[in-house]
Amino acid sequence: MNNKTKTPKEQSSPMPKKPDVSGSKGRECSDKNCPIHGSLKLRGRTFTERVVSAKSHRTATIEIERRHYIPKYERYEKRKTRLQVHNPDCINAKEGDVVKVQECRPISKTKHFVIIKK
Q: How far is the CB of 89 from Zn ion (least distance, A)?
A: 6
Instruction: Out of 13, 21, 33, 34, point to the residue binding Zn ion (CB under 5 A).
Output: 34
Indicate whether 36 belongs to the interface with Zn ion (CB under 5 A). yes
Query: Which residues in 71-90 contact Zn ion (CB under 5 A)?
Result: 88, 90
Which residue in the shown chain puts its C-beta closest to Zn ion? 29
Q: How far is the CB of 35 from Zn ion (least distance, A)?
A: 8
Where are any strands of DSSP class E within the chain? 42-53, 59-70, 75-86, 98-104, 113-117
Tally: H helices and E strands in the chain: 0, 5
Which residues on adjacent β-strands are paired with residue 118? Answer: none
**Residue numbers at the binding site for Zn ion (CB under 5 A):** 29, 34, 36-37, 88, 90
